[in-house]
Amino acid sequence: MGEQRMDENRIQAKNVTFRYPEEERNAVDQVSMRVKRGEFLAILGHNGSGKSTLAKLFNALYVPDAGTVLVCGMDTADDELVFDIRQNAGMVFQNPDNQIVATIVEEDVAFGLENNGVPPAEIRTRIDEALRIVNMSEFALKAPHMLSGGQKQRVAIAGILAMKPKVIILDEATAMLDPSGREEVMNTVHRLNREEGISIVIITHYMSEAATADYLVVMDNGKIHMTGTPREVFADVENVRKLGLDVPPMTSLAHDLRQAGIDVRPDVLTVEEMVEEVCRLSSKN
């Protein structure tokens, strides 16, 4: 494999299998996938399908029983590279309260840098920058427990961002937030993807969030069941529903309309697209 291709893949998983000790079945089973540079990828799947386990394999929190995971070309099985890997593949977790370590926002953002032995002057510039990017500068000296859920998650993102990662993995980072907090976080993540060129992997149960990704990976029982763009995946309404997942509301509506004999496109994702389709049909008649 050429150097060039290596550089294109932020994360590459090859036939990855992982089983928790004392469990019967593999939590992750023969998974191969990759996250390309600058890509926004979403992982879907019902509860217990192995999404979180896969995310932890991407961050060297777990090491595969079989197969390999490469993060920016580094093998997660190599003990020497663990901290380089974790710095390159940052992770944001579900519960905003349980991932903030320090008693002051800016100190928490500094946590990862302190662990990596970055000199204080550089820590200062990097955390100021990170807080600015997530729009939390004015809260730098606040106590974390005074913040809203969405703000806490943005602080967590800043803490990752300060480490200058190549890819950020968000494991249901919006699951415990209210709609406005969810929007704050999703907007931030999309901006990082667009403006800073950071690859993003989101794990989510919200199909509206998944619909904004470049690429979807649908898991079932530890295996990858479907992949493709949101359009391709959601157009297969029956199959997605069989996996215990929803499709975005407009895709569902398009599906119902088609069953009723109205010839709209099956891969409608957003309200705007649906409006367009309806206008197209009505102008035809």
Partner 1 sequence: MLNDITLGQYFPGNSPIHRMDPRAKLLLTVVYIVALFLVKSFVGYALSLAFLYLVVRLAKIPFKYLIKGVKPLRFIILFTFLLNLFFLTGEKVLLVLGPFRLTQEALFNALYFSLRLVFLVMGSSVLTLTTSPVQLTDALERILHPLQRFHFPAHELAMMMTIALRFIPTLLDETDKIQKAQMARGADFESGNLIQRAKAMIPLLVPLFVSSFRRANDLAMAMEARCYRGGDHRTRLRELRYTRLDGMAALAVCGFVALIVLEGHFFG
Asked if 125 interacts with partner 1 (CB under 8 A), we say no
Asked if 52 interacts with ligand ATP (CB under 6 A), we say yes
Stretch that binds partner 1, among 34-42, 79-87, 203-211, 246-254 (CB under 8 A): 79-87
The nearest distance, CB 94 to ligand ATP, in angstroms, is: 8
Strands (E), 156-276: 167-171, 199-203, 215-220, 223-228
Asked if 93 interacts with partner 1 (CB under 8 A), we say yes
Alpha helices in 175-244 (DSSP H): 179-195, 207-210, 230-235, 237-242
Judged by CB under 6 A, the residue of 11, 13, 16, 27 near ligand ATP is 27
Cβ neighbors of 125 (< 8 A, separation 6 or more) are none
Residue 117 burial (10 A CB sphere; 0-12, 13-18, 19+): exposed
Stretch that binds partner 1, among 23-31, 88-96, 129-137, 177-185 (CB under 8 A): 88-96
Question: Do strands 9-18 and 28-36 pair parallel, antiparallel, or not at all (unpaired)?
Answer: antiparallel
User: How far is the C-alpha of 262 from the C-alpha of 281, rounded, in Å?
Assistant: 9
User: How far is the C-alpha of 8 from the C-alpha of 37, rounded, in Å?
Assistant: 5
- Looking at the Cβ atoms of 50 and 248, the one nearer to partner 1 is 50
Stretch that binds partner 1, among 71-79, 98-106, 177-185, 249-257 (CB under 8 A): 98-106
Judged by CB under 6 A, the residue of 20, 115, 125, 242 near ligand ATP is 20
The residues with which 201 forms a beta bridge, in sequence order, are 41, 169
Q: How far is CA 231 from CA 83, 184, 213, 234, 260, in A?
A: 37, 24, 10, 6, 21
DSSP 39: -
Asked if 111 interacts with partner 1 (CB under 8 A), we say yes
- Binding partner selected for residue 278 from ligand ATP, partner 1, Mg ion, none, CB under the kind-specific 5 to 8 Å limit: none
The nearest distance, CB 115 to ligand ATP, in angstroms, is: 24
Residue 203 burial (10 A CB sphere; 0-12, 13-18, 19+): buried
Asked if 26 interacts with ligand ATP (CB under 6 A), we say no
- Of the candidates 158, 169, 144, which has an alpha carbon nearest to the alpha carbon of residue 10? 169
The residues with which 36 forms a beta bridge, in sequence order, are 9
Asked if 147 interacts with partner 1 (CB under 8 A), we say no
Stretch that binds ligand ATP, among 41-49, 63-71, 160-168, 242-250 (CB under 6 A): 41-49
Asked if 77 interacts with partner 1 (CB under 8 A), we say no
- Interface residues for Mg ion in 39-68 (CB under 5 A)? 52
- Binding partner selected for residue 48 from ligand ATP, Mg ion, partner 1, none, CB under the kind-specific 5 to 8 Å limit: ligand ATP
Structure tokens at 79: 């003990």
Asked if 174 interacts with Mg ion (CB under 5 A), we say no
- Binding partner selected for residue 20 from partner 1, Mg ion, ligand ATP, none, CB under the kind-specific 5 to 8 Å limit: ligand ATP
Residues engaged in binding ligand ATP (CB under 6 A): 20, 23, 27, 45, 47-53
